[in-house]
Structure 1
Amino acid sequence: MTTISRPTPADRAEWDALWQAYIAFYESEVPAHVSDATFARILEDEQLHGAMARDASGRAIGIVHWLTHPATWSTGVYCYLEDLFVDPESRGSGTGRALIEHVRAWAAEHGAEKVYWLTQGHNATARALYDRVAVSTGFVHYEIEV
């Protein structure tokens, strides 16, 4: 059985192992000071929110991070699910779905009008889940470094 809860300071090492695996999956790098700040902001639970999934033995097997923001197409807020990662050994166990549902329930409780997220087009494993729990909007993502 998967349990989901907010991380605590004692979870740092387990969170970091999952965070680093997530960053590596996307063939990217995040400086240590940014990871430190990210974990601190998740613990504050004010602007950036997070949760960890644990298996029946208590092992950390997944993380999710999200934030809310105002929207121009609504008078309410939207919830952006920024990071979602499940340990490869635990994929297919329902953990990803449970983490998404955790964010959806949190968003509903906090008055958000929708939850949305991005993924890479080639992330077939994740997209198979996303196609079951959400609707693809067909948007293409662009960005500019500042």
Structure 2
Amino acid sequence: MTTILRKLKEQDYSQWLVLWKAYQHFYQVSSHDELSQLTFNRLIQRSNEMGCFIVENKGQLIGFVHYIYHLSTWTEGQYCYLQDLFVMKNQRAQGLGKQLIEAVYVEAESQKCTRVYWLTHKDNHIARKLYNNIAENVGFIQYRKNIS
């Protein structure tokens, strides 16, 4: 398979949206169209706060990773939070998720980040096999209180 890993572009919206909705379906959530458009706009702004790499095969987008930079009280540099990672089901087990994560590692290093981190569901066993090979599970548990 010949794939291209690159940054998201404005003309990718319709294909990114298909992936975005498939990702939301995987987690059994959905967001309204206006929020999807806002998210996409934030990802392509190149403001150094949010970013997205995609994997393309023969003109079709087949995977993405979204990441966010933020400051921390624990370091002088920024952290990079890998917020979303998704590869189409029929394209998995080919190393694409690892390539996407490693692209974030390189990008975060270029931005002088001191850490890349992410969350996943405890039952996401297939993804956790990958994550256990490329990062350390430090044992933290997330608590959440939705405000609105």
The alignment's TM-score, normalised by the length of structure 2, stands at: 0.95
Name the CA distance, whole Å, in 1 between partners of 2:88 and 2:25.
12
Task: Report the counterpart of residue 50 of structure 1 in structure 2.
Answer: 52
Spell out structure 1 runs of 4+ moving beyond 4 A. none
Name the CA distance, whole Å, in 1 between partners of 2:126 and 2:21.
19
Name the CA distance, whole Å, in 2 between partners of 1:68 and 1:42.
12
- The answer to whether the aligner puts 1:11 opposite 2:12 as a matched pair is yes
Task: Report the counterpart of residue 129 of structure 1 in structure 2.
Answer: 130
Name the CA distance, whole Å, in 1 between partners of 2:70 and 2:10.
26
Shift of 1:45: 1.7
How many residues of Structure 1 are paired with residues of Structure 2 in the alignment? 145
Name the CA distance, whole Å, in 1 between partners of 2:138 and 2:16.
30
Identity %: 36
The alignment's TM-score, normalised by the length of structure 1, stands at: 0.96
Name the CA distance, whole Å, in 1 between partners of 2:85 and 2:124.
12
Shift of 1:32: 1.1
Shift of 1:58: 3.0
Name the CA distance, whole Å, in 2 between partners of 1:142 and 1:30.
22
Any gaps of 5 or more consecutive residues in structure 2? none
Compute the RMSD of aligned alpha carbons: 0.9
Any gaps of 5 or more consecutive residues in structure 1? none
Shift of 1:4: 1.0
Report the secondary structure of 2:114's partner residue: strand
